[in-house]
Amino acid sequence: MTPVTADELASTVADHGVEVVGRLLDASNVAFFATTGDTPVIYKPIRGERPLWDFPTGCLAHRERASFLLDQAAGFGIVPPTVLHDGPLGPGSVQFWVTDPDALLTGEETDPSDDLVELGDLDDSDVGDDGDGQAARTLFVLAPPAELRPPWLPVFTGELSDGREVVLAHADSGELRSVAVLDAVLNNSDRKGSHLLRSPEGHLWGIDQGLCLHEQPKLRTVLWGWAGEPLPPADLERIHRLAEALRGEELIDELGDLLTTQELGALTRRVDRLVETGRHPTPQPGWPSVPWPAL
């Protein structure tokens, strides 16, 4: 499956429209696996979105598109190409499908939370980036607190059904860290482990950015392992690039059709603060710091 660019996706959707293949029954809002030409996509019509008390304005599809535009402007390459389209069930978001579509259609698609394993089942080759930037195979582990060791970073401590105390931890990898930086920009309120998908080519993608870009601080994530630490140089450069783009008219004009004035103002302030501090944010009081379910 060859990834497409946003321009290619927009052109294909304009030429071929969207053909629904089937509904994704485990999605919290109405979502369809679909195709546009020969390209697999996920189509989320606005009319299928559930009203949310904490995101009363706008729609999730617009936030998905805005998240992609910000990812693209910064150069993260984490959010799959996403466009808006008036499809079979009305306007909505159309996003490139990043996992193997044949596995989905044959019932072989696995739950991304299957990446959660017990620490004792791993060896050092199962995690982290090697010298060539090889993508890590495992993203999350459960471990007894006394056994947690690098390169695993703790998120929270909990208790299993049999009473054992465990720590949920994520890998200390560069690709996950970039996701955490982008989520700080987006004020992502729903970064579950299952929203991180690896393509057949090995690229790590972040999906489901609908609960993002609120004007109030709402960051909820399973990637708190770097809280308060300095941003990596490459990610800080991306933040500077985004700050510059937000001072221009082109990006602001596109975002202005998707977000409120208050949300745009809060976005600019978040980016400016990341530039000023150069550090990952820390959990804030008064708002749950981890989504549920976490994975």
In angstroms, the Cα distances linking 16 to 40, 70, 259 are: 12, 26, 28
On the question of pLDDT at 193 being above 50, the answer is yes
More confident residue, 212 or 163: 212
Query: What's residue 113's pLDDT?
Result: 43
The Cα–Cα gap between 213 and 266 comes to 8
Surface-to-core class of residue 96, CB atoms within 10 Å of its CB (0-12 exposed, 13-18 middle, 19+ buried): buried
On the question of pLDDT at 168 being above 50, the answer is yes
For 128: left if phi > 0, alpha if psi spans -120 to 50, otherwise beta; the answer is: left
**Contact between residue 231 and residue 205 where contact means Cβ atoms under 8 Å apart:** no
Between 152-161, 187-196, 201-210, 265-274, the lowest mean confidence (pLDDT) is in: 152-161
Query: What's residue 151's pLDDT?
Result: 87
Q: Among the ranges 52-56, 123-127, 188-192, which has the highest mean pLDDT value? A: 188-192
**In the chain, domain spans:** 119-173
Overall pTM surpassing 0.85 (yes/no): yes
More confident residue, 113 or 197: 197
Average pLDDT (220-246) is 97
**Which two three-digit tokens encode residue 182?**
């982008």
Query: What's residue 130's pLDDT?
Result: 42
